[in-house]
Amino acid sequence: MPENASAYLAEGPRVGIRHFTYEDAAEFTARVRESKALHQPWLFPPASVDAYAAYAGRLIEDRTKAGFLVCERDSGAIAGFININNIVEGGFLCGALGYGAFAHATGRGLMAEGLGLVVRHAFGPMGLHRLEINVQPRNSASIALARRCGFRLEGFSPDFIYLDGAWRDHERWAITSEMLRSS
């Protein structure tokens, strides 16, 4: 890589975003284990190297998914992750976002900066038109992040996703490329 080239797909003042690699397994799974109390009952990212390999493999190899690590620019430490799942091309040009911060990075605005970078990357180089976030109504931190990044509440879906042994209600939040341009 040229000396002045960045390892990131996009950069902000404090974070950069990059794709998952298999080599991230040790750091990612250590951060997941440190953040278990923060994540559950909302999400269950892979906590073992084998589970990470399967998870990252889907994000790396499946064209209907794109995974991004949010990394602190000063240290390169992984602060969180943002995935675009269920990417549909053609007339839809949409994807469903999922995300999680790691405990050491919470409350510092790093995920808001990272989500802004992912949204701009999705609407720019990826060519998407719409991104959706589905959030459990009691997950106030995820709802605050969606709102802070310009997503609008579009509805409520009862029994939407099967998580932690039960069907869970979710709020539906979305942003379009037009909304981003007008903000």
SS (H, E, C) 115-148: HHHHHHHHHCCCCCCEEEEEECCCCHHHHHHHHH
- Determine the distance from the C-alpha atom of residue 145 to the mean position of all C-alpha atoms in its chain, rounded to a whole number: 11
The confidence score (pLDDT) of residue 38 equals 82
Checking if the pLDDT of 1 tops 50, the result is no
Measure the CA–CA gap between 84 and 129, rounded to whole angstroms: 13
Q: Which tops the pLDDT comparison, 2 or 50?
A: 50
Question: How does the average pLDDT of the chain come out, rounded?
Answer: 93
Q: Are 162 and 183 in contact (CB under 8 A)?
A: no
**HSE-up (13 A, CA, CB side) for residue 48:** 3
Mean pLDDT of 143-147: 95
Question: What number is the average pLDDT over the span 62-68?
Answer: 97
pLDDT value of residue 5: 57
Mean pLDDT over 156-165 rounds to 92
The pLDDT value given to residue 10: 97
What's the mean pLDDT in 44-73?
A: 96
pLDDT in tens, 75-94: 999 999 999 999 999 999 99
Q: Does 104 have pLDDT greater than 60?
A: yes
170 burial level (CB within 10 Å; 0-12, 13-18, 19+): buried
Total-model pTM? 0.93
